[in-house]
Amino acid sequence: MNRNTVVNGNLIGILGGIILSTDSLFIRLMAVDNSWLIVVLRGVLMWAVMFAVWGLWPKSRAVLGVPWITRQNLLPALFFCAASACFVNALNRGNIATVLVIISSTPFVSAIISRLFFATKIDRSLMGAAMVGMLGVVIVMTGRQSGYDGSANYFALATAVCMALAFIFASRVEQGTLALPSLGGVLASVVVSLFAGSGLVTPLLALHAGQWGWLVIEGALIIPVAMGLISLSTRYVPPANAGLFLLLETALAPLWIYLFLQQAPTLHAVVGGGIIIMAVISQTLRVKKQAAIAL
């Protein structure tokens, strides 16, 4: 892996992280109380978009991969499936800042799993950036509010673990990986539908036009593009590095919530978010500088 591809991988991942940071806003704008209904609908929308692109634009297939389960993509699809279900439940049940703080532990989880189970060498600068980013996370956490469903924390932790494993196994897929999050999303839709059955019919029929609009934007555009870009970045950077891009959501989501819902972030969130952004930018600039020296 040469330096230029690493730089490109970081830029791809940062773009994905910025887009992903709006996800929390759209889920709140939906105002859909049934979290499992959101999982089902957005999973179907994600996969439908990717399948349409795969079918109508043959040149994209090398980057997308196949929109169905194979022996090679099974594991990352399964973990993206679990992450999708857990993330929606965490965000719909708990405080946004707290949930995102827990999920932002993904880089550490990914690094530890990669090191312990796959003997992957972790770059010191990457671990340093993760440490600085987690300092921002700690600052955000000290300003969290009380009065939310405690189960959200467990869903958030499960999301972090599943995302870390999804990135690790996605980096080992030889073909395209852009469609993997969408494949995991539709798999979550199938699993939830099988267990929920007719229990989703009533809340589905109760959705109004505005809610459908936010669902389509989030499920057919935001998530496929954001998670696809972050998944694609694992072809060029270590999986643990890809986890750093999720920290951008922790930093930026409170800003979008404030701008569109007038819910002001705490001072802790602003300061911690700034530190997180600087950690990601500094790691990217360092890699870019090394690439320039190597030329």
User: If you average pLDDT over every residue of the chain, what do you get?
Assistant: 82
d(CA 226, CA 232): 10
What are the φ/ψ torsions at residue 214 (nearest 5 degrees)?
-65, -35
Q: In degrees to the nearest 10, what's the CA dihedral of 143, 243, 111, 142?
A: 0
Tokens of 26: 């759209």
* Two structure tokens written together for 251: 């930093």
Residue 295 has pLDDT above 60, yes or no: no
For the chain, which residues make up each domain, given as ranges? 3-294
Residue 92 has pLDDT above 90, yes or no: no
pLDDT at 248 (0 to 100): 81
Cα 220 to its chain centre, rounded Å, is 15
1: pLDDT strictly greater than 60: no
Minimum mean pLDDT range among 25-29, 142-146, 223-227, 233-237: 142-146
